[in-house]
Amino acid sequence: MSSHATAPRGAPSRNPCCLCWCCCCSCSWNQERQRAWQASRESKLQPLSSCEACAPPSPEEVQSWAQSFDKLMHSPAGRSVFRAFLRTEYSEENMLFWLACEELKAEANRHVVDEKARLIYEDYVSILSPKEVSLDSRVREGINRKMQEPSAHTFDDAQLQIYTLMHRDSYPRFLSSPTYRALLLPEPPQSSSEA
């Protein structure tokens, strides 16, 4: 930790202890950044998770997911079910990355954008991450350049690439999966108050 005690020559003013933004050190700057990200993440993602877990999708909504991948991804319940399916295929990180990029694009605060972009990089783009998403070298190099001055759109190309991967690869398997087919089956008779 003593190697990070003073700023190296040319260090950015927003990072007084080191040039490290990949979280490889445990300096106080990284710890503070992690706390800020966690607080922001909990306040923004909690309502989404609760909403997705509370109401089961209607049969019509479930059927609409087979019409297009866009309909599935625009439905909170659809994203939740698809994410659970991706978890069974050990590719949940694709949905998590896509959701993190959506959250980043909705952020207006420059400081928060910077923090979230760096954490998205650490969580999903860094080759050291256990949740690394599969990106081609052109997109990865573009992200590395953009990370010098991160913005809400730093990951747009990568997000599109992962969206396309899920659409072409996982989505067809999802539609033929027992998970999706079970949702298409009629519910057992209960108190049917819907008309």
Q: Are the C-beta atoms of 113 and 121 separated by less than 8 Å?
A: no
DSSP secondary structure letter of residue 66: T
Structure confidence at residue 33 (pLDDT)? 45
Work out the average pLDDT over 133-137: 96
* Choice between 172 and 18, residue whose per-residue pLDDT is larger: 172
Q: Which long-range contacts (CB under 8 A, 24 or more apart) does 164-168 make?
A: 165/94, 165/134, 166/69, 166/82, 166/86, 166/94, 166/95, 166/98, 167/69
Query: Model-level pTM greater than 0.75?
Result: no
Q: What is the radius of gyration, based on Cα positions, of the chain? A: 20
What are the distances in angstroms from CA 44 to CA 76, 148, 195? 14, 26, 35
* Choice between 17 and 64, residue whose per-residue pLDDT is larger: 64
- List Cβ neighbours of 182 (8 Å cut-off, separation of 6 or more): none
Work out the average pLDDT over 25-47: 44
Work out the average pLDDT over 39-44: 42
Work out the average pLDDT over 127-152: 96
Tell me the pLDDT tens digit for each residue of 50-108.
344 557 889 999 999 999 999 999 999 999 999 999 999 999 999 999 999 999 999 99
* Choice between 41 and 176, residue whose per-residue pLDDT is larger: 176
User: DSSP H helical segments within 5-109, as ranges?
Assistant: 28-54, 59-64, 69-74, 76-88, 92-105
Work out the average pLDDT over 37-47: 41
d(CA 136, CA 133): 10
